[in-house]
């Protein structure tokens, strides 16, 4: 329980991360109220940003409990990881896929009908052209998560120089 509080506090006290979350909420509200029906492609922007934001949240939260370092040490014994950056990338993707891939898409599946919106379920198999939206949402989120990692890696290298 203490670690969960530490993770939440590390995210909630970072004004940059709070701003990122508020921007995501604003993009989604604007999309829902005005843009998704008029410009369906706008849906990609919040999903890329969602991946970016969750990547940052996952990395910050994991770093607050030293997860990347502990995983690196444990996996290095088995020659599965060699450095902190590799584990940070895994943590970012896992954080996005678990929270974004499951939570967002399940929320869309269950809450959309309450709002009078037809859900685009990622969990409808087989994936066809009629139900591919959920898979595309997750894929664009992965792009956002990867972009966040690449930017963070570049910033870390610049600070080291």
Whether 126 is in a domain gets the answer: yes
Whether 123 is in a domain gets the answer: yes
pLDDT at 143: 96
Cβ contacts of 7 within 8 Å, gap of 6 or more? 61, 62, 64, 65
Whether 87 is in a domain gets the answer: yes
Q: Alpha-carbon distance 140 to 161, whole Å?
A: 32
Total count of domains within the chain: 1
Cβ–Cβ under 8 Å, residues 93 and 145:
yes
Instruction: Considering only CA atoms, give the Rg of the chain.
Output: 17
**Helices 67-76, 84-95: inter-axial angle, 10-degree rounding:** 120
Cβ contacts of 135 within 8 Å, gap of 6 or more? 122, 127
The pTM (predicted TM-score) of the whole model is: 0.84
Q: Is 112 helix (H, G, I), strand (E, B) or coil?
A: coil
- Domain boundaries, position 94: 2-155
Q: pLDDT digits over 38-87, tens only?
A: 998 898 999 999 999 999 999 999 999 999 888 888 887 777 667 888 89
Whether 121 is in a domain gets the answer: yes
Q: pLDDT digits over 124-158, tens only?
A: 667 677 767 777 888 999 999 999 999 999 998 88
Q: How confident is the model at residue 122 (pLDDT cuts 50, 70, 90)?
A: low
Strand locations in 5-139 (E): none
Whether 50 is in a domain gets the answer: yes
Whether 58 is in a domain gets the answer: yes
Whether 161 is in a domain gets the answer: no
Whether 142 is in a domain gets the answer: yes
């Amino acid at each position: 329980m203490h670690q969960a509080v530490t993770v939440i506090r590390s995210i909630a006290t970072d004004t940059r991360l709070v701003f990122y979350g508020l921007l995501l909420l604003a993009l989604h509200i604007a999309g829902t109220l005005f843009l998704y029906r008029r410009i369906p492609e706008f849906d990609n922007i919040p999903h890329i940003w969602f991946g970016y934001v969750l990547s940052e949240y996952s990395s910050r939260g994991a770093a607050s409990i030293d997860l990347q370092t502990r995983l690196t040490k444990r996996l290095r014994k088995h020659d599965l990881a060699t450095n902190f950056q590799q584990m940070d990338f895994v943590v970012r993707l896992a954080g996005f896929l678990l929270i974004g891939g499951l939570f967002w898409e399940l929320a869309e599946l269950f809450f959309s009908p309450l709002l009078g919106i037809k859900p685009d379920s990622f969990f409808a198999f087989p994936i066809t052209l009629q139900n591919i939206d959920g898979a595309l949402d997750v894929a664009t989120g992965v792009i956002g998560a990867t972009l966040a990692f690449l930017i963070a890696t570049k910033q870390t290298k610049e600070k080291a120089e």
